[in-house]
Each structure stands twice: as structure tokens, then as C-alpha cells.
Amino acid sequence: MSHVTLWKRRLGAVPDEVWDDRDVETLVLAENDLTAVSERIGGLKRLRMLDLGHNALTSLPDAIGDLPSLTDFLYLHDNRLTHLPASIAKLTKLRYVNIGENAFTALPDAIAGLSGLVELRASHCPIAVVPEWIGGLARLRELHLRGNRLTSLPASVGLLRELRHLDLRGNPLTELPASIADLPKLEKLDLRWTPSFAPPPWLDHLAARGALVYL
């Protein structure tokens, strides 16, 4: 088992020896002023956790989808990403993704393929659209969308039967689908700092059954 941590080294580029270590399972490259990641990353077949946060990435290599062991965490937050490669949809066993603090205007479609996803964090982006496919992430327990540009969510969010925590703080919400009230395991719905949102009656139903609703 190999763990490589190069956090906050300000490297500018990933050293070649990182890609040569085919046994690496944990790779931390956060805060290194990275603007690109080599396609060689696809050779790290044992990689379980990858941290590329706090860099200056505008894109990711297609080879990032060729990591069959990437199951634990993928940190992409605080970069300059506007899209994700379609190949990421192949990471069907990945459980946690953080794409917050990027330039996405909609949730990237590649995420629709992450059928094993348990927690999705996409806070503080200019995201204005959550697509209908969100309802297909059947294992999702936490969905964090704080500080975006959302005015609503699709009705399909009501299909997330495992969802426990839905964070919508700081969005210009004007409405939400009533299907949220039927989420059987929802424990927390955070709607603070949404001044244009008029609370619908079904919020009382959630609160009555014990869910925490923050307004």
C-alpha cells in the first residue's frame, strides 16, 4: 500500500515519479498551482482516493475515468473547471465527490453515471440548473448545493429515497418540488439565506415527522 502526499508544495506540475508509482492508493496533490494533470494518471489502477483541490485546473484528462479502484474520495474543489470529462461516468463505485468552488453553471452530466455516489458536494459554483437525472443517483445520502444560483430543483429529486441531508443555503430559490416532502429518510433540509423563497405547506409535514428544516 502506498500513500503519496504532496500537499501545499506549490509544485506547478506533478513530478513524473508520481505517475511511475503504480501501487499508490492515496494521492494528495492539493494546493500545488496545477494547471494540468497528465493522461498518465490512468495508469494508477490501485488509486482509491484522489485530491486535486485548491489548484488552477480548467480541465481534467479523459484518463481519469480509467481508475477502477477509485472508490473512496475525489476532491476537485476550488479549481477553474467548467466541465468534467464524460469518462468520469465510468467511476461507478466512487462514493464521494466534491466539485465545489468551480465555474460549473449546471451539474456536469458525467456525474449521472456515478451510480455508487453517497455524497455529492457542489457548493459555491454558479450552478443554475440541476438536471432531471439527479433522481437516478439512488444511493445518494447527502447533496450539498449551497451558494449557487438555483431557483428550483427538478421533481426527480423526490426519487432519492436514501437522501438524508439536502443543503440549499444561499440560493435564490423561488420554489421547490413537493416531492421532497416524500423523501422517507430526509433528516435535514437547510433553506437558510433564501430570501425569495416562500415556504410551502409541505414543509410542515417534514417537520412534523421529525426532519430538521432550517429557514
Are 8 and 103 contained in the same domain?
yes
Indicate the pTM of the whole model: 0.97
What pLDDT score was predicted for residue 1? 60
For 88-141, how does the pLDDT look when each residue is reduced to its tens digit (9 = 90+)?
Answer: 999 999 999 999 999 999 999 999 999 999 999 999 999 999 999 999 999 999
How many angstroms separate the CA atoms of 96 and 207, rounded?
Answer: 28
Please check whether residues 46 and 93 belong to one and the same domain. yes
146 in Cβ contact with 167 (< 8 Å): yes
How many independent structural domains does the chain possess?
A: 2
Which domain CATH number covers 154?
3.80.10.10
Cβ pair 129, 151 in contact under 8 A: no
